[in-house]
Structure 1
């Protein structure tokens, strides 16, 4: 009996010992979270009283030497204790007039028993409850006309990818920027904690510079935000290449259709024609190529990502590549050339009117071409048309929603903005004042208002579409828009790595989301291969049909 008991105790103790073991990735992920949490919550750190990067470089070897949960927790607790006593600093009660948003705020990880001792979890909870309430040393919104900015972050001019400390610093910075200050974290496809676990090995122990660089790109793409991407000097070389084909293509039905050529002379060299359907690239189907590039192409939705990958997949570092293509129902294979960008003398696009009146008294406005100072004259010319089609498929000029002054009888709310609560990083709040468009105008436009949208309707273009939607007789026609509606904030993560993401949330007045969803058309019209080949603008044609028959 004693022997059996001894064996059982031995098995039990081995199980406990095994459970207490933690992997290198788990330790680094936990350290990333603690380092970021202290950066924005701890009174001494958030006030800028310590060199926080150096603190990370000092703690990493100690983290690496810890082999069990207990050892790891001891290292982190000692680190926190050395930062000094934390005075009780209970934040003021929430403002009952403020509309808070908590979908991104989740500090449950601080109480995770798998990695943290009860003592360490208790310390982290105390820091949260007595968090820093002053002006954070590392983040503010004090710049003119901005929603957010990261400050006091050394770039490290001598950054070398072989330096593990700096590689981890770059990843830790970016992960925590998103964790606490990206308003749309809650609608990302992948849990942000899981994304960290996935990417960490490629940053902590990459086999090559390419692996590290592409890992930094990939984690930014996981934001599912058309504004979000990380670039570096070598990114183009590793991602696609530094040479380009002499054509432009669009993904349609898992095939790539040539929609433009750079100039006639280059097109003749490779016998390229608008409407050629490319089915394979270097022996790989276009569908597979699009999937391959998808983890490196920014986009709030697949349509937006495909818009980018449709171009990048044909770039490269070699002078030529092979395509399988269809022309006149005949499938052929041939080689196509690539050129350095400076050698491609692109034919200027055909000039089109900023606005015009078509037959049947229908106005068409190309919002990407109309400057602010011409809005009044344009609307005067179009005021007696039976319908106006506003084309917002390309980025509009900054017309500041002035068109809506002529489409509404009174001011209309367009959207409400979501901002970071810097006193409680990870929490947000809706701005009390909604953005409006329009004015008191008894002589407003009474005809049909048609808004054309597509995957190229992006950011300010989506807000422009939202303002046009407020017209009493408005109809949106086209395909899903980019789904990144809000200010784009550009920042440097670390020397050589520049990034960006949407820095403030944009919602309809009723809090309906626009991120990833985009502006949803009332009538969906997807361009077809046949339409491209025939040079048709199928979205515009559908709009004209709707104006005539109301269907």
Structure 2
């Protein structure tokens, strides 16, 4: 009796599976994943033997006709069978000398997707177990200091946004680039599968060009990576606009505060002053305006996304905008101008233009974004008798190859270790055996305090520079959360007109402590204040000087 009941349930389940209706989004999401999986795992595809884009274009009409899960699985199975026989090809044994990283590797969907029949899942599992082991036709690491590059991808020079096939191809490419070759997929806010389902309708059936373009931007922002963003010329019209205000604003205590005027004479025309607090833009509160733009602003963490959003929210295509603002506790409204970028001639900076100097109380101060490599030896010689050296890396430093550390460290010190994609097993990574080092044997190394200034503008190589300076024996980091994206930035073309990028290799401290999204954590946190902005103070530098004075 029990066996009969079990048999009946199995038959019923099979009938239910075969009859279940499926949506276009479900079909396309599953197809995106299968197409990408086969691209990097199937021997006949990964070796470049087939025109894989055309294969997608050919299968889409058949998938469109499938109305049930059983019909969908049958279409995919037939497709896989037509690709050719996958020979038993036991993958090479893992290298015992490699330190593998599996947090991004997840092919369980091939066995659990609700659209897949058991026989389809079995085929996908066989391909996984006998995956391609040679040089992949579509991705490699060839070249000096290349962490990753996508190759042999047609750009489609005649791309039109109205072409559904090419829209889907663009999304499918980017989604699978991320799925298999973005090292920080595991720390994204949203599961990547869910992001695909969420964005697909705006790609498959967009109501307008604007919806499609912004969807392509939004999917890249979901990587939560300051390096990750997609650009398109037409997109910029909708993203923020092509005209700019002469003021720069930062969000301080959730308020938009004018912190800079790029052109003094144009600023006077609109009677703008640093310290003005903007409360509304064209009748919309700045909080609401920021919320609208944040889903299109790249950033590994919220402070960086807000920094980018604080710029874009004031741009536009119109010549003017209305702002509501507070000055001297009085709320007013006014019309201010926007200009094409070429018409905003920047006024000379008011701050000291010196690359480095000795401040009061014998404190060295270095603007790392201004010091060229060849001047480091002379600079460090002049600063060797100071009681402290403040390294300001709140803006991207010049490429000094960590040369300053040869004067700060008594011996070579490890800075970081890199995480690279394992191209023999897409989705898996491994730690490079050799760690990046800085410094040299130097008994006469600098004995004073080393202070490192950081903030949201400390990004990528700037964060690696901060990590190198942290190795100094008497180092203290002061400021606020940094960009949280310090691996190599890889720029690539998705399809004609769509340039994108993301961090292509992971960067960790020598003990494998993460930096992605977290950034360089300050020993002393300093957040800007509205009063400080209004008074033109550099609160981070002021706090550093206080620390040098009293040691806390």
Q: Tell me if both proteins adopt one fold, taking TM over 0.5 as the criterion.
A: yes
Q: 1:458 to 1:549 in 2, by over 3 A?
A: same
Which whole-Å CA distance do the structure 2 matches of 1:111 and 1:442 have between them? 60
Tell me which moved more, 381-390 or 348-357.
348-357
SS where residue 339 of structure 2 aligns?
A: strand
Asked whether the equivalents of residues 18 and 70 of structure 2 are also in contact (C-alpha less than 8 Å), the reply is no
Q: Distance in 2 between matches of 1:333 and 1:37?
A: 56
Counterpart of 2:473? 472
Q: Please name the residue that 2:250 is paired with.
A: 250
1:89-238 equivalence runs, <5 A: 89-238=89-238
Distance in 1 between the 2:349 and 2:312 partners? 21
| Correspondence 1:104-503 to 2 at 5 A | 104-350=104-350, 351-503=352-504
- Runs (4 or more) in structure 1 with deviation over 4 Å come to 12-15
Tell me if structure 2 keeps the 8 A contact 1:477–1:543: yes
- C-alpha separation between the residues in 2 aligned to 1:105 and 1:127? 15
Indicate the SS of the match to 1:492: strand
Residue 15 of structure 1 and its aligned partner are, at CA, apart by: 9.0
Classify the secondary structure of the residue corresponding to 1:415.
strand
Q: Give the secondary structure class of the aligned counterpart of 2:169.
A: helix
The yes-or-no answer on 1:79 pairing with 2:75 is: no
Given that 1:20 and 1:114 are in contact with CA atoms closer than 8 Å, whether structure 2 keeps it comes out as no
| CA distance, structure 1, for counterparts of residue 428 and residue 115 of structure 2 | 25
Task: Report Cα offsets for 1:159-190 as digits up to 9, x if no partner.
Answer: 00000000000000000000000000000000
Match of 2:26 in 1: 26
* Cα distance in 1, alignment partners of residues 91 and 168 from structure 2: 32
Cα distance in 2 for partners of 1:286, 1:131 equals: 52
How far 1:206 moved relative to its partner?
0.1
Give the CA deviation at 1:143.
2.6
CA contact (8 A) 1:140 1:151 kept: yes
- The one-character-per-residue Cα deviations of 1:163-222 (angstroms, maximum 9, x if unpaired) are 000000000000000000000000000000000000000000000000000000000000
User: For the aligned residues, what is the CA RMSD?
Assistant: 1.4
Query: Separation in 2 of the partners of 1:108 and 1:155?
Result: 32
The answer to whether the 8 A contact 1:143-1:149 is kept is: no
Structure 1's 113 and 531: CA in aligned 2 closer, same or farther, altered over 3 A?
closer
CA contact (8 A) 1:242 1:340 kept: yes
Deviates more, 1:330-339 or 1:261-270: 261-270
* Secondary structure of 1:540 counterpart: helix
- State the distance in 2 between where 1:275 and 1:13 align: 67
Q: Which sits farther off after the overlay, 234-243 or 456-465?
A: 234-243
- What is the match of residue 3 of structure 2? none
Listed as ranges, the gaps of 5+ residues in structure 1 are: 1-7
Change in CA separation of 1:157 and 1:331 when aligned onto 2, cut-off 3 Å: same
Q: Say how many residue pairs are matched.
A: 542
Indicate how the Cα distance of structure 1 residues 409 and 67 shifts in structure 2: closer, same or farther if over 3 A, else same. same
1-structure distance, mates of 2:427, 2:198 = 22
Question: Is the CA contact (8 Å cut-off) linking 1:487 and 1:502 kept in structure 2?
Answer: yes
The alpha-carbon distance between structure 1 residues 113 and 490, as it changes in their structure 2 partners (threshold 3 A), is: closer
1:478-498 Cα distance to aligned partner (Å, 9 max, x none): 000000011000000000100
CA contact (8 A) 1:412 1:437 kept: yes
Q: Give deviations 1:390-436, integer Å, cap 9, x for gaps.
A: 00100000000011111110010100000000000000000011111
Instruction: Determine the C-alpha separation between the residues in 2 that align with 1:348 and 1:173.
Output: 44
Q: CA deviation at 1:262?
A: 2.3
Q: CA offset at residue 342 of structure 1?
A: 1.7
Gaps of 5+ in 2: 1-7
Give the distance between the partners of 1:19 and 1:281, measured in 2 at CA: 53
Aligned to 1:4: none
Deviations for 1:502-547, whole angstroms, at most 9, x for unmatched residues?
0000000000000000000000000111101101000000001011
Q: Deviations over 1:7-60 (max 9, x none)?
A: x99xx7999269722111010000000000000000010000000000000000
Rounded Cα–Cα distance in structure 2 between residues aligned with 1:443 and 1:191: 51
Q: Distance in 2 between matches of 1:74 and 1:19?
A: 13
Partner secondary structure for residue 230 of structure 2: coil
Match of 1:521 in 2: 522
User: Which stretch shows the higher mean deviation, 111-120 or 541-550?
Assistant: 111-120
C-alpha distance in structure 2 between counterparts of 1:50 and 1:78, whole Å = 16
Distance 1:17 1:194 in 2: 22
For 1:85 and 1:511, locate their aligned partners in 2 and report how far apart those are by CA, in whole Å.
Answer: 42
Q: Tell me the residue number matched to 1:533.
A: 534
Range moving further from structure 2, 42-51 or 271-280 = 271-280
